[in-house]
Amino acid sequence: MAYEKIKMEISSKHGISIDELSRLVGLKKLEKGVTEEGALGLVSLDLDNKKTILNKPSKSFIDSINAEEYLVDYAKAHHPEDPEWYKKAVEKEYKNGRFGIDEEDAKKLAALSYGWDLEGKNNNEDQWNDLDNLSEKSLSIKIKNGRIDALTAKINRLSKERPYSWEHKYRIKSRGIELTDGRFSIWANCYDTCIFRDDSGNIIPANPMLERIRALERKYPLVGVKVTLTNLETGRNRKGYITLATGPDSDFLVLSEDYTDTIMTEPIGADA
């Protein structure tokens, strides 16, 4: 890994990508008949001697290098069994550039999803210690009468808001939120619900959860924010895995220290 670290340092210093640096090293290795480490040293000298403007890389490029280093370290700590995890995490955001995201930004987005701080603060294990374990086994233990009272995790991704797929007693709109504990992740389906009567004839107030989430997003990016979802309904998909969904009495609580707004269920309708 010392070799990879040296490559990252050279890449950062001269403002070229790891892929481009690897290409230059390969060419130098063939040209001089030296080892890969020797070729890297020669390429570094060539770059030093050129003294071009590339010696002053942009902040965006430096950030992407820092994000890449964070992801590599994170993968070693949390996914040692999967040597391809780092690449998969970046590709999940990059998607070969299909959505206009370049590779540098994809690295930053991926790193932010797993706890990286753009300003270089709080990059330690403590920020994950108070999150719930999202493994299937741990979630199964939490289920009581088909529900989970509360689940605390970080937001990894959010899907687009859309109308609920078919006519429902109280669900109006839906939006997926991927939660992560730093190791495992699961999607929770969040819903706007309308006022309705339950089976006992009681009037249940509406819960415009998605509207409040939108309001929060206008103030602050929610990816990486620590949240607690309460009163989650659970089920099983076709593969037998646990599914999560919010209901009329669910809350969405934002817990991150640097973001103190809270989304609470507020009665709307007959009892408002």
For the chain, the structural domain boundaries read: 2-113, 129-254
pLDDT at site 141 = 92
**Res 143 pLDDT > 90:** yes
**Res 58 pLDDT > 80:** no
Q: What is the largest CA-CA distance in the chain?
A: 84
Answer for the pair 3, 40: CB distance below 8 angstroms, yes or no.
Answer: yes
**Res 269 pLDDT > 60:** no
Q: Predicted confidence band at 232 (pLDDT cuts at 50, 70, 90)? A: very high
Torsion, CA 225, CA 230, CA 234, CA 237, rounded to 10: -20
pTM (predicted TM-score): 0.52
Per the CATH hierarchy, to which homologous superfamily does domain 129-254 belong? Nucleic acid-binding proteins (2.40.50.140)
Give the tokens for residue 237: 């998909």
Instruction: Name which of 41-55, 94-108, 193-207 the model is least confident about.
Output: 41-55
pLDDT at site 22 = 81
The kind and range of the H/E element at 157 are strand 147-158
Q: Predicted confidence band at 265 (pLDDT cuts at 50, 70, 90)? A: very low
Most confident of 88-92, 127-131, 248-252: 248-252
Q: Predicted confidence band at 96 (pLDDT cuts at 50, 70, 90)? A: low
Percent of the chain past pLDDT 70, that is, above it, reads 81
Tracing tokens 């070969």 back to the chain, one arrives at 96
pLDDT at site 263 = 42
Question: Rounded to a whole number, what is the distance in angstroms from the first to the last CA of the chain?
Answer: 61
**Res 243 pLDDT > 60:** yes
Q: Predicted confidence band at 188 (pLDDT cuts at 50, 70, 90)? A: very high
Sign of CA dihedral 110, 111, 117, 120: negative
The SS3 assignment for 159 reads coil
